[in-house]
Amino acid sequence: LQRSITEPLTALATLSHRISRERDYHIRAPVDSVGEIGVLARNFNEMLTQIQTHDDALASELAERRRAEERLDKLAHYDTVTGLPNRYYFNERLLSVVTRAFRFDEPAGLMFLDIDNFKTINDTLGHHVGDELLREVAKRLQKTLRQGDIVCRIGGDEFAIILENLSDAAQADLIARKCIE
């Protein structure tokens, strides 16, 4: 009688410890009897099912929260029209580049560009054409710049370019000419 009670309880305790250690709530206790031990095992399995359901719901909620945070971060740091980094990103990055340039005595460059008569384009051809022009300018600037240079849309028809790892001012002048072309 003692063995028929003690062995199932010991097995249930061992299983409980394993589940806690592995955090695997898919494991279930075997239900071998219809008596009190069987009721205990069924209740234990029901509790595991509830824990598993809550654990899965929490994992799903956390994944959705991460996706929402990533979307918010993208909205906070990138322009929705061009996909370029925005003014907020630009300000953060510029501070970092200037700090590093002074600390290591490395030259860096900063260029501002705007599109002449952009308001006229928006007013006469519509904002959808203006947006397409902004996307095309962004694409061309990205193709023109060196890898590691950063182009940002800082507002309206204004773009800023941060140049790092410059050998001298002549290199910045060359990059500026390419952008204008």
Active-site residue set: 157
Number of H helices, E strands in the chain: 6, 3
Task: Measure the CA angle with vertex 109, ends 106 and 110; round to 5°.
Answer: 145
* Strand, coil or helix: 161: strand
C-beta atoms surrounding 48 within 10 Å: 20
- Cα 179 to Cα 141, 160, 168, distances in angstroms: 6, 11, 18
Q: What are phi and psi of 26, to 5 degrees?
A: -85, -15
